[in-house]
Amino acid sequence: MKLSKDRVEVASDVHLRDGIGVEIYRDDELVIEIFRDDTERTRTITTFKENISLELMEESIQIFKQKIPWDFIEYDED
């Protein structure tokens, strides 16, 4: 992240979803969330701003890959 007000937060969610992801903030505004849902076995990108540069999207994906384990958590079916 280039600007001083840019930040990345790693956040888990077990209320509505079950997984972990990164939130990307620019100028203290949430602009992108990339989330790994272990129950649904999906990885999704949610944008909170209408226009996001390709550079920011690519950088956000790289941050996600660095900070969040790629493999889903395996749950027992019992």
Q: Tell me the three state secondary structure of residue 50.
A: coil
The reported pLDDT for the residue numbered 63 is: 97
The reported pLDDT for the residue numbered 21 is: 96
The reported pLDDT for the residue numbered 6 is: 87
Averaged pLDDT, groups of 10, the chain, 78 residues long = 75 87 94 95 96 95 96 80
**How much is the pTM?**
0.86
* C-alpha span between 19 and 74 (Å, rounded): 11
Instruction: Indicate the DSSP class of residue 44.
Output: E
The reported pLDDT for the residue numbered 2 is: 52
